[in-house]
Structure 1
Amino acid sequence: MRLLIALSTALCLFTGTLQAAPPAEPTKAASTAPRSPLEEKVVEHRLKNGMKLLMVERHTSPTVAAWIRFRVGSVDEKSDERGIAHLLEHMLFKGTTTLGTKDYAAEKPLLDRIEQTGQALIAEKAKQNKGDAKRIDQLTRQLAELEAEAGTYAIKDEFFELYSKNGGVGYNAFTSRDGTTYLISLPSNKLELWAAIESDRMQNAVLREFYTERAVVMEERRRSYDADPVSRLWETFLASSYLAHPYGQPTIGWMSDIENLTRGKAERFFRDYYGPQSAIVAIVGDIDPRATIALVERYFGAISPGSNPAPVTTQEPKQGGERRIELMADSQPTLMVGFHKPAIGAADDYVFDVIATILGHGRTSRLYRKLVIEDQLASDVAVFDAPGSRYPNLLVINADPRAPHTVNEVEQAILAELERLKNEPVSERELKRVLNGIEFEEARRMGTNGGLARNLTEFEALTGSWRYMSAYRHRVAAVTAADIRRVANHYFSRENRMVGFITTQGDVKK
């Protein structure tokens, strides 16, 4: 997304606004048996305002990866807020009261008028056919004029410029149903720049250009979702899989959701939930943990904690039969088959990880060998969890039929492989291959500073402890052939199955 003026310039913006905290003693991870090499390296510290800091000291290069994960995602939105977490991801690159603006004192009255106009426009449009068309046109023109005038005070991409001029790379963010993450890699001697910028953003973010950026997100929705048949099928597939739980709602929001978002709603959502209490910070690389704790305390320690979103208590009712979703479109055919399964950390979730690897990870997996190589029914196949992990989710099998084969042929081949899992024990050799593949993938992801920072923040947020990573291999290694047959027989049933597919309009006409 965006990036970065000089370190001294950035730091002077915060002089006198934060009180220094005395250096704190690093806390090594609490011991468990057996201890993994990772547990010997992770240093953790919790600030009084609730922020969790995880650090790993690596001196292979004079760089650090700094990730901030907020335990706030689209699953935490209320019905009138859908799409707000994703839109906030865009908005938080717009700057603060000191960054991204030429004169905030002159800009703020314009921002207030923009919000008044934007809310009035939404209210008039909400009347639908009873709305005043002339007033809607007037408010639309007025909003555009105000946004253009306010834009004369905005400094585009100042975060990006600050970081990039100081060696920062990979500045980005992403929002999912489970959380929101901001990340960057930068020289280790610029870590204070990161602390200055990110603590300022946490306290003083200004959601300038809100309605302009909302229009950008609406265009993203049109281009990447509404106009793309596979994305439309995916959204319908998830919405039909979750009739009650918010996992069925798209992270970007439906178009009518986005159209009714206001800056006021976004500011309240941000103030409530994007504070230290929901933040997990991972800093991996060329650091001194004790000095890093002192730095983080100095910049983030005085920030007041906000509140956490209420946990989602809605439980998805058990399916009473197979659900089938057909989308007619001028598109290549595709097939999705899904089954409801437990959330991350549940005992059966480890078994599903093994099953997913057996079925669809790599060219030696069962579905790839059978469908793509041997029978050439499909051009590609993938197996993955979706749409989140904090709550019970889906195991999804996605395959693209290879002409002249049909989605029905591919579906029957997939179901045959699932029946094989139910009836034939997986060999020890195949289980060993799966474990080796999982170990290789985990080692690859943690080999870089960014990969390790991502894993630390993600598993701390999803499971309550990054130590999930340490126990993971042992839990997967304990999965037996009997476990796989039990789980396959329990979950891979017709009444627990979702099927979605695209039928080409040309086939329908025939």
Structure 2
Amino acid sequence: MKTVRFVVCFMVMLFSLPAFGAGLEERVREHTLKNGMKLLMVERHTSPTVATWIRFRVGSVDERSDERGIAHLLEHMLFKGTKTLGTKDYAAEKPFLDKIEETAQLLVAEKAKGDKADGAKVAELQKKLNELEAEAAKFVIKEEFAEIYARNGGAGYNAFTSKDGTTYLINMPANKLELWAAIESDRMQNAVLREFYTERDVVMEERRRSYDTEPGSKLWENFVASAYHAHPFGQPIIGWMSDIENLTRTKAEEFLTRYYKPNNAIVAIVGDIDPEKTIALVEKYFGAIPPGTLVGPVAVVEPLQQGERRLEIVADSEPELLIGFHKPTLPAADDYVFDVIDMILADGRTSRLYKTLVVEKQLVTEVSSFSAPGSRYPNLFVIAATTRAPHTVAEVEAAVYEELERLKKEPVTERELQQILNKLEYEESRQMISNGGLARNLTEYEAVAGTWRYLIEHRKKVAKVTPDDVMRVARTYFTRENRTVGFITKKSGQ
């Protein structure tokens, strides 16, 4: 009986959501603090909980060449605590942190000499750094943020870094919202990057485990780097190994102080709230925090690609294929056309690539399409496929191009366009069922599109896409000189 009631409630919520989506503009309350922090609120009394998302408009695309990987490392570091949380005695801890940084700077400088580095000095400095970190560790209270949140009913405490931004999120009982405000405002003002070099080692191990030895990740990294020669979209979020090795706490603190401030932050609070009281609460805890440096646009423009780029990764892995085409990003008119193309080609079992490559020709085990690696700047439309033995990457590539040529020559049907609109309505509604899903979308589109109202406008813009638009965009962008192709070749003899 519980399962039946849940399904009924779920369906009632689902089918009531298009009306909610249509009225979203009236439901979202906006407030901007004097320090520039943007607050977005939606009052929903379906449960006594709230979802809180803090989105900083700074991601790996905003790093300078000597800062690569720093946004991702800071994501880790901001869980370490503040001057009052995560430490038994900050006044006693700080001298050790200062000595650690002094030693680490000397170690990094010596290692930077490469072959001319003094091996004995490197070993001595590394030994001293390890000893100092062991001493400083005596003051550390591990995971205190997480424990406080957990004791107070918090769930889903997490963070993620992308090319476009960095986000911290948690779901809380509604009556614990002030606790969230106290913790997060403290973190925004008083973060302490303790255990920095220990955590840097953790990230280096993550790099080795998840990228350097993982064929699919290695393919993706090199594929994106090949597609972008000038724009920082081409650099990995985690950074290359030598980038991570040369990151210091001083450099991270400078990046943190510069950008992780209220004027670069968008906060979404969705759930069982009173907007007026919530504004007062946020003003109380965040209002006095001074702004930092506003994240500016990346000035570098990727030069027009003049010919096909191809790369091969040889690995003990099943063959994989990536095909990417440079394209504009949202809210450019052609980006809406690409949303239509994406759904025609690879959205579900009725999509063209799935029916042709998976079902009919049985060339691949899976196929997908998506826009990447970010959204704030012109990006790529990517088609990804995993080859089914005994077929080859070349066969799959040829079959993909056949479908792309169809888009250029044969108008999509009105029925296909209507199916896309129906799917979009369903997906948009599904994403707004949870408080967290709505908070995510509000912060994402406010940061990337410049307004959360993209949520409202998107399907209306897609509805205006015509069969001629699809053919025009396919002819314009799906060209040989505009594409990058990456693939995994299985090691011979395997």
Q: Which residue of 2 aligns with 1:480?
A: 466
Letter aligned with residue 131 of structure 2: E
Q: Which residue of 1 aligns with 2:304?
A: 318
Is the Cα contact below 8 Å between 2:133 and 2:195 reproduced in 1? yes
Q: Confirm or deny that 1:499 pairs with 2:448.
A: no
- Shift of residue 438, structure 1, vs aligned partner: 1.5
Paired with 2:98 and 2:427, the residues of 1 have a C-alpha distance of 50
Write the mapping of 1:341-352 to structure 2, written as runs, cut at 5 A. Answer: 341-352=327-338
Q: Which residue of 2 aligns with 1:308?
A: 294
Q: Which residue of 2 aligns with 1:376?
A: 362
Q: Which residue among 369, 381, 385 is the counterpart of 1:395? A: 381
> CA offsets per residue over residues 59-95 of structure 1, 9 Å max, x none?
0000000000000000000000000000000000000
Q: Which residue of 2 aligns with 1:298?
A: 284
Paired with 2:379 and 2:245, the residues of 1 have a C-alpha distance of 28
Letter aligned with residue 97 of structure 1: K
- Shift of residue 309, structure 1, vs aligned partner: 2.8
- Shift of residue 504, structure 1, vs aligned partner: 1.0
Letter aligned with residue 172 of structure 2: L
Letter aligned with residue 141 of structure 1: K
Paired with 1:148 and 1:370, the residues of 2 have a C-alpha distance of 59
Q: Which residue among 132, 140, 147 is the counterpart of 2:126? A: 140
Give 3-state SS (helix, strand or coil) of 1:324's partner.
strand
> CA offsets per residue over residues 323-368 of structure 1, 9 Å max, x none?
1111111111000000000011000000001100110111111101
Paired with 2:110 and 2:296, the residues of 1 have a C-alpha distance of 32
Paired with 1:145 and 1:352, the residues of 2 have a C-alpha distance of 55
- Shift of residue 493, structure 1, vs aligned partner: 0.4
- The Cα RMSD (Å) is 0.9
Paired with 2:23 and 2:362, the residues of 1 have a C-alpha distance of 43
Number of equivalent positions:
474
Letter aligned with residue 459 of structure 1: Y
Q: Confirm or deny that 1:286 pairs with 2:300.
A: no
Give 3-state SS (helix, strand or coil) of 1:388's partner.
coil
- Shift of residue 252, structure 1, vs aligned partner: 0.2
- Shift of residue 436, structure 1, vs aligned partner: 1.0
Paired with 2:162 and 2:464, the residues of 1 have a C-alpha distance of 30
Identity %: 70
Q: Which residue of 2 aligns with 1:176?
A: 162
Q: Confirm or deny that 1:447 pairs with 2:438.
A: no
Q: Confirm or deny that 1:238 pairs with 2:218.
A: no
Q: Which residue of 1 aligns with 2:313?
A: 327
- Calculate the TM-score normalised by the size of structure 1: 0.92
Q: Confirm or deny that 1:79 pairs with 2:65.
A: yes
Paired with 1:368 and 1:427, the residues of 2 have a C-alpha distance of 18
Task: Indicate the larger mover: 368-377 or 105-114.
Answer: 368-377
Is the Cα contact below 8 Å between 2:154 and 2:172 reproduced in 1? yes
Q: Which residue of 1 aligns with 2:446?
A: 460
- Shift of residue 292, structure 1, vs aligned partner: 0.1
Write the mapping of 1:175-214 to structure 2, written as runs, cut at 5 A. Answer: 175-214=161-200
Q: Which residue among 415, 420, 425 is the counterpart of 1:434? A: 420
- Shift of residue 447, structure 1, vs aligned partner: 1.1
Q: Which residue of 1 aligns with 2:95?
A: 109
Is the Cα contact below 8 Å between 2:110 and 2:122 reproduced in 1? yes
Q: Which residue among 335, 340, 360 is the counterpart of 1:354? A: 340
Task: Indicate the larger mover: 100-109 or 325-334.
Answer: 325-334
Is the Cα contact below 8 Å between 2:44 and 2:270 reproduced in 1? yes
- Shift of residue 505, structure 1, vs aligned partner: 1.3
- Shift of residue 310, structure 1, vs aligned partner: 3.0
Give 3-state SS (helix, strand or coil) of 2:86's partner.
coil
Paired with 2:422 and 2:299, the residues of 1 have a C-alpha distance of 37
Letter aligned with residue 337 of structure 2: V
- Shift of residue 142, structure 1, vs aligned partner: 0.8
Q: Which residue of 2 aligns with 1:94?
A: 80
Paired with 2:256 and 2:133, the residues of 1 have a C-alpha distance of 21
Paired with 1:196 and 1:444, the residues of 2 have a C-alpha distance of 32
- Calculate the TM-score normalised by the size of structure 2: 0.95
Letter aligned with residue 217 of structure 2: S
> CA offsets per residue over residues 365-399 of structure 1, 9 Å max, x none?
11011111111110000100100000000000000
- Shift of residue 36, structure 1, vs aligned partner: 3.5
Is the Cα contact below 8 Å between 2:264 and 2:295 reproduced in 1? no
Write the mapping of 1:30-109 to structure 2, written as runs, cut at 5 A. Answer: 36-109=22-95
Paired with 2:138 and 2:466, the residues of 1 have a C-alpha distance of 64
Is the Cα contact below 8 Å between 2:75 and 2:161 reproduced in 1? yes
> CA offsets per residue over residues 442-476 of structure 1, 9 Å max, x none?
11111110000000000000011101111111001
> CA offsets per residue over residues 285-339 of structure 1, 9 Å max, x none?
0000000000000000000000123311111111111111111111110000000
Letter aligned with residue 124 of structure 1: E
Paired with 2:353 and 2:276, the residues of 1 have a C-alpha distance of 49
Give 3-state SS (helix, strand or coil) of 2:110's partner.
helix
Q: Which ranges in structure 2 are unaligned for 5 or more consecutive residues?
A: 1-20
Q: Which residue of 2 aligns with 1:423?
A: 409
Letter aligned with residue 270 of structure 1: L
Is the Cα contact below 8 Å between 2:257 and 2:292 reproduced in 1? yes
Paired with 1:118 and 1:322, the residues of 2 have a C-alpha distance of 44
Paired with 1:368 and 1:159, the residues of 2 have a C-alpha distance of 45
Letter aligned with residue 379 of structure 1: T
Letter aligned with residue 469 of structure 1: L
Letter aligned with residue 486 of structure 2: G
Paired with 2:465 and 2:296, the residues of 1 have a C-alpha distance of 34
Give 3-state SS (helix, strand or coil) of 1:139's partner.
helix
Q: Confirm or deny that 1:129 pairs with 2:96.
A: no
Q: Which residue of 1 aligns with 2:13?
A: none
Q: Which residue of 2 aligns with 1:162?
A: 148
Give 3-state SS (helix, strand or coil) of 1:400's partner.
strand
Q: Which residue of 2 aligns with 1:10?
A: none
Paired with 1:465 and 1:348, the residues of 2 have a C-alpha distance of 18
Q: Confirm or deny that 1:274 pairs with 2:260.
A: yes
Q: Which residue of 1 aligns with 2:393?
A: 407
Letter aligned with residue 130 of structure 2: A
- Shift of residue 434, structure 1, vs aligned partner: 1.1
Letter aligned with residue 161 of structure 1: E
Paired with 1:171 and 1:450, the residues of 2 have a C-alpha distance of 11
Paired with 1:362 and 1:181, the residues of 2 have a C-alpha distance of 29
Letter aligned with residue 305 of structure 1: P
Paired with 1:436 and 1:221, the residues of 2 have a C-alpha distance of 41
Paired with 1:58 and 1:339, the residues of 2 have a C-alpha distance of 41
Paired with 1:319 and 1:261, the residues of 2 have a C-alpha distance of 32
Task: Indicate the larger mover: 205-214 or 437-446.
Answer: 437-446
Give 3-state SS (helix, strand or coil) of 2:492's partner.
helix
Give 3-state SS (helix, strand or coil) of 1:506's partner.
coil
- Shift of residue 429, structure 1, vs aligned partner: 0.4
